[in-house]
Amino acid sequence: MTVELIKNWPSLYLLSNDEQRRKILVEVDQLFPISTHYNPNEEVHHFWKEVLSDELIFFGGSFFPWHKGHQTCLNFIDPKKKCLILPDRNPQKDLMLQKPEDYFVTLIQNLELRPGHHLSPSFILSPYKNPTFDWVNRLTEHYPQAKISLLMGFDSLRTIESWIRANELLPRLSKLYVLSRLERDDEAIQVKLKLESTFKQLQIEYLGHHEFENLSSTELRK
């Protein structure tokens, strides 16, 4: 298990057959500290310790399917910043009914990863839901110094206080990077002021409007 696999497994995955793909997913899962199966060797542990010594942005969602709105979120963050893409089963919605092997073929074919951006298969492999609080707690047990930020659309920010154990999660976060989703400017200001006044350490940075604000994975699946 090497750091090169963390960085390059998506391209290797597309070149593999179904049986090999399953093995790749299982092996890669163990390389990510948000996984319940995290089992690093010294090289992998040192890699994540170094990555997490600075801010790491986490971008979670079902991404079913991945669309231009999702890609725009990634494209709008500073290219120097490191980001971990976390395909997941929404803990407040039904579990996904698709083979992980097929899901990742489609995702990888459509996802454009920059240097410093990594893709984790961990949550799609799990049959269970993964509330954000749980994996943030798990991550900080391994790396207490982790500076954790989230990337999301305004639709997620609008409901973030209803997330599971939100009052325990939000104090652990450093920053929320938020892309517009057709909200009014006055609503965006109000939400930012409320959250930043309640959670003093939390910063909210709006990344702006874009041409794909109306895209929705739910609508695209219909």
pLDDT of residue 157: 96
Show the domains of the chain with their CATH numbers: 3-221 (3.40.50.620)
Confidence of residue 215 (pLDDT cuts 50, 70, 90): low
pLDDT, position 90 = 63
110 by DSSP, 3-state: which?
helix
Q: Measuring CA to CA, how many Å separate 38 from each of 41, 48, 119, 143?
A: 10, 12, 15, 12
Three-state DSSP class for residue 222: coil
Contact 107, 81 (CB under 8 A): no
- Contact between 131 and 158 under an 8 Å Cβ cutoff? The reply is no
Largest CA distance in the chain: 52
Q: By percentage, how much of the chain surpasses pLDDT 70?
A: 92
Q: Provide the 8-state DSSP code for 191.
A: H
Task: Quote the strand ranges of 107-219, DSSP E.
Answer: 117-119, 147-153, 175-179, 203-208
Q: Please indicate, yes or no, whether the overall pTM of this predicted structure exceeds 0.85.
A: yes
Inform me whether the pLDDT recorded for 28 exceeds 90. Answer: yes
- CA 73 – CA 176 distance, rounded (Å): 12
Structure tokens at 152: 């999301």
- Does 87 score more than 70 pLDDT? yes
Average pLDDT, the chain: 91
Model pLDDT, residue 219: 56
Mean pLDDT of 146-161: 96
Name the DSSP letter for residue 84: E
Question: pLDDT by residue (tens digit) across 3-23?
Answer: 999 999 999 999 999 899 999
**Predicted local distance difference test score (pLDDT) of residue 18:** 87
Checking if the pLDDT of 94 tops 70, the result is: no
- Per-residue pLDDT at 26: 96
Which band of pLDDT confidence, cut at 50, 70 and 90, is reported for residue 64? Answer: confident
CB-CB contact of 179 with 208 (8 Å): yes
Confidence of residue 182 (pLDDT cuts 50, 70, 90): confident
Question: Cβ(165)–Cβ(131) under 8 Å?
Answer: yes
